A and B are shown apart, each in its own frame.
Chain A
Amino acid sequence: MISKPNFTGIGAPIQRKEDKRFITGQGQYTDDIARPGQVYAAFVRSPVAHARIKEIDASAALELEGVLAVLTGAQLKEDGIAGLICGWTVQSKDGSDMIAGEHPALAVDKVRYVGDHVAVVIGTTNHIARQGAELVGVDYEELDPVVDLESVRGANPVHEEAANNVCFEWELGEKEPTDDAFGKADHVTKLDITNNRLIPNAMEPRAAIGEYNQAEDHYTLYTTSQNPHVARLVISAFVGLAPEHKLRVIAPDVGGGFGSKIFIYAEEVVCLWAAKKVGKPVKWTGERSEAFLADAHGRDHISSAELALDKDGKFLGLRVKTIANLGAYLSTFASAVPTYLYGTLLSGQYQIPAIYVEVDGVYTNTAPVDAYRGAGRPEATYLLERIVEKAARELSIDPADLRKRNFIDQFPYQTPVIMNYDVGDYHASLEEGLERIGYSDFETRKAQSEAAGKKRGIGFSTYIEACGIAPSAAVGSLGAGVGLWESAEVRVNPTGNVEVLTGCHSHGQGHETTFAQLVSHRFGIPIESVEIVHGDTDKVQFGMGTYGSRSGAVGMSAITVACDKVITKGKKIAAHLMEVPADSVDFEDGLFLGKDSNKSLAFGEIALAAYTAHGFPTDEIEPGLKESCFYDPSNFTFPAGCHICEVEIDPETGELDIAAFVAVDDFGTVINPMIVEGQVHGGLVQGIGQAILEGCTYDKESGQLVTGSFMDYTMPRADDVPSFDVGMTVTECPSNPVGMKGCGEAGAIGATPAVINAIINALGVDSIEMPATPERIWRAANGL
């Protein structure tokens, strides 16, 4: 089908429908929206990491002309507005629930990290609000902050409820069989490893406009969200700001998310609340500095791991102990990330008969930590791929060969850590990766580099991830407070064009194109006849949003089922119109065909007939042509692949050149290869960024954020990264009707260990910390 001219269906690399508005400056991001009479919010943020608030003096700010109000946490509490919540309750080993410290939208007694929200100033202009915020005097009684992950116990409690700063002590897998496996091992590889903290930095800073209509007692929130319905649910059901039917949440064009815009943030709650207080729409646009301080950060683990092997290099068991930094407050899904999105992926692509992992989730006086592209899976992959590579080194086995010896090759495969892999071909992606990188000639290239005084290395990462998040009952049994299905509504208009309302949200993924490709393919109608609607709780019935590479596997499955319902109804109508038996209508390429007859009706003709309702009994078939679906997946999906990185290092300067990077991924069915490759490129650069450039640093004594701007935090730039060689192998996912697995996070999951393994291989060392800056590489190269 791909070869058909003008083909726009599944598999066609067509240009994106949404691009025209973005390339001509017509996108509508939250900050582009101006509501009539809007005023501006500026937040007073804590300059210290840990302190009691003794007094807030707003008098000078209130004297400034144009300042309308200074609002504090005490007033928020008086108004009965509750705090933010974490939507996933993790249990500790002893069966007790995690300890979730209070998370007020504005601090009440204490501030817990630099950037914490102390008060909000509402002003008639943005300048005035910000100037007002500068004038608010806050008297702090400073407390020693807890910053260092290894010394949280016994330090000042961030939350009084969690005396040791421990939120949960979680475990997964079986300890005894794992210990037994180590007892039988011929070789044990040990690794202490840090997964560096990252700051997401979507290019659009977060923003929010809260609006209150007194006559209707109705609120509207415009916000930079990946999941507007979830935001509405949390703000209604838990924060208690407005009943759900009196709150509309609109997430218009959103400039990237990468996880950081999943969460429900203080600023959204405060803008809504303040809008009622001052009787005007209240707009807040975050500055980049605020994004650094107060967007949820990612990763931040320290771990010790051990891998048991037999004499043939077969894996026998894996033991992992991890401390995960949760920051100062539990963000919306913070507890799930270092537990059920991490421990469950520790089997990787390998047969490991016994796995046991312990994770302590701890509070520190730093910004909240939550999902960032990959969310738990990069941490699992980094640990596993590093220790596998180390084992290969210690046993002098070729790292590709050691992987092959241990690959899972029978499906379905039940891991010892919950996941049941449905399908995959790990040998195929590795073989293609080896071919593309030219593995057999690596030694020649290495010799050439050596002759030029350079060190060349190659590193592998054969990763797996769990996407298509997620079967509702399964995640419910693990502590999730929500179901993770997705909804779709397919409205066929009388004139035969189609609106699809989806609960997913596009913030760069290109849903307006790929979802339309699916529908156009299914209905045999031009892609121009399909419009995708998302991001508005007044339009879309409900939705769980976009994260965890779920929009294809779950969102498009919902659309597929709804489309099938439309076709089923269309067949019934067609049978009446064509006067053929109900079970003798086929649908193909946009035509309803009467079997054993020469009759046919086009999709558009049936659409019109459905609305005129002249030609079929309406007591049997309702008029109209609109169907919906709430699709609950039956399993996670398991995208997997092989990333290989080749680096060349100048030992005199520590300068690193990524000489080649190959990514071969298996995402199942691909709707638009151009978009999928783009997702891979972007993910790879975020993964490479973590490996060699990015690292969020807090001062361990003061808790000040040291890397608080683009001048201090190294974002990958165009000349930091190479062009990638991207390949795909396909095993179709059997658990959903599209056969898709998801592609959004793979790059960020697979790339990081491939780069670090390549650096380690080049330098002949045992480890190097991330980000592997030229200084760190130079030190390692020179034994310093």
Chain B
Amino acid sequence: MISVKTTVNGEERSADVEDRTLLVSYLREHLRLTGTHIGCDTSQCGACVVHVNGKAVKSCTMLAAQAEGCNITTVEGLADGDTLHPVQAAFREYHGLQCGFCTPGMIMSAVDLIRRIPDLDEPTIRQELEGNLCRCTGYQNIVKAIKSAAEQMAS
């Protein structure tokens, strides 16, 4: 067992976990932040994307121990109180989610994508979403939501 201390959504958190614990399990099971989801076991689906020190990371590919001392943002920490992050609001406005299971990972990837690449066009968004699977929406409204949020955040 090891003790892992992190800052999650602005709060200092710590938990004693087995050495082999993945970051996603640390968040879900030990900190009970269940907004981050597990959709596969091969790091393909992206349902578990969180931000570690400001960068999008699939939290199933990282040990909790590797996150020691890191600043982590999960989907629960994205909104500012009652004010949704523009990406969250755009997903709702453009119907970019159906069952909602891939949504936290999609949103966290999208926030990172908008930060990394200015002037996003549709082909770029589609290409950049390669690491996030959605089975419900057919992606069209996710793409629209990200494009709209990107434009709004740039203005």
Chain A residues within CB distance 8 Å of chain B: 15-16, 18-29, 31-32, 34, 125, 127, 201-205, 253-256, 258, 285, 287-289, 507-510, 674-675, 677-686, 709-711, 715-719, 721, 723-724, 747
Contacts and interface: CB of A to CB of B under 8 A. Distances in A.
B154 interface: no
B101 A256 contact: yes
A718 B97 CA distance: 14
A677 B28 CA distance: 33
A715 B135 contact: yes
B99 A15 contact: no
A25 B104 contact: yes
B41 to A, nearest CB: 5
B75 A25 contact: yes
18 contacts: A20-B92, A23-B91, A23-B97, A24-B75, A25-B36, A25-B76, A26-B35, A127-B20, A256-B136, A288-B42, A678-B98, A681-B137, A710-B40, A710-B44, A710-B133, A718-B134, A719-B126, A721-B138
B130 A717 contact: yes
Contacts of B100: 18-19, 21-23, 27, 253, 255, 508
Contact of A719 (B35, B40, B123, B135): B123
B149 to A, nearest CB: 12
Contacts of B20: 127
A28 B32 CA distance: 12
Given A16-B92, A203-B102, A24 B41 contact: no
Nearest to A287: B41
Interface in B1-57: 18, 20, 28-29, 32-42, 44-45, 47
Interface in B64-115: 74-76, 78-79, 84, 88, 91-93, 95, 97-104, 107
A22 B140 contact: no
Nearest to B132: A718
Given A255-B37, A288-B45, 11 more contacts: A23-B103, A24-B78, A25-B34, A28-B34, A31-B38, A202-B101, A203-B47, A678-B141, A682-B136, A718-B132, A721-B139
Contacts of A22: 97, 100, 103
Contacts of A289: 41
A34 B31 CA distance: 12
B127 interface: yes
B142 interface: yes
A769 B82 CA distance: 52
B63 interface: no
Closest 8 CB pairs of A and B: A25-B35, A255-B101, A22-B100, A508-B99, A681-B138, A710-B44, A508-B98, A685-B138
Given A24-B76, A26-B35, A710-B40, A204 B138 contact: no
A719 B129 CA distance: 8
Contacts of B33: 25
A489 B139 CA distance: 35
Contacts of A254: 99
B18 A29 contact: no
Interface of B: 18, 20, 28-29, 32-42, 44-45, 47, 74-76, 78-79, 84, 88, 91-93, 95, 97-104, 107, 122-123, 125-127, 129-130, 132-143
Nearest to B105: A203
A21 to B, nearest CB: 8
B114 to A, nearest CB: 15
Given A19-B92, A23-B88, A509-B98, A203 B126 contact: no
A685 B44 CA distance: 18
Given A20-B92, A709-B42, A29 B97 contact: no
Given A204-B37, A718-B130, A711 B44 contact: yes
A403 B134 CA distance: 34
B121 to A, nearest CB: 12
B99 A255 contact: yes
Nearest to B131: A717
Contacts of A721: 138-139
Nearest to B20: A127
* Residue in A31, A32, A254, A682 whose Cβ sees the most chain B Cβ within 10 Å: A682
B94 to A, nearest CB: 9
B91 A32 contact: no
A253 B100 CA distance: 9
B141 A29 contact: no
A710 B45 contact: yes
Contact of B138 (A18, A201, A205, A682): A682
Nearest to B108: A25
Given A256-B99, A721-B139, A15 B92 contact: yes
A254 B133 CA distance: 16
Nearest to A255: B101
B138 A508 contact: no
A499 to B, nearest CB: 22
Contacts of A680: 138
Contacts of B91: 19, 23
B135 to A, nearest CB: 5
Contact of A718 (B75, B84, B136, B139): B139
A717 B35 contact: no
B112 to A, nearest CB: 15
A492 to B, nearest CB: 29
A747 B32 CA distance: 37
B98 A710 contact: no
A684 B35 contact: no
Nearest to B123: A719
Contact of A27 (B29, B35, B95, B107): B35
B137 to A, nearest CB: 5
A209 B153 CA distance: 42
Contacts of B39: 203-205, 255, 288
A682 B98 contact: yes
B93 A15 contact: yes
A143 to B, nearest CB: 29
A256 B135 contact: yes
B70 to A, nearest CB: 19
B99 A678 contact: no
Among A32, A509, A681, max chain B CB count under 10 A is at: A681
A49 B128 CA distance: 39
Given A256-B101, A681-B137, A718-B126, A24 B88 contact: yes
A683 B140 CA distance: 12
Given A24-B84, A256-B136, A675-B95, A718 B35 contact: no
A504 to B, nearest CB: 15
A650 to B, nearest CB: 17
Contacts of A253: 99-100
Contacts of A715: 44, 133, 135
Contacts of A678: 95, 98, 136-138, 141
Given A718-B139, A718-B142, A29 B101 contact: yes
B140 A724 contact: yes
A332 B99 CA distance: 23
Contacts of A747: 138
A15 B97 CA distance: 11
A237 B98 CA distance: 33
A727 to B, nearest CB: 14
A710 B95 contact: no
Nearest to B93: A15
Nearest to B78: A24
A34 B34 CA distance: 10
A665 to B, nearest CB: 14
Contacts of A677: 95
A130 to B, nearest CB: 11
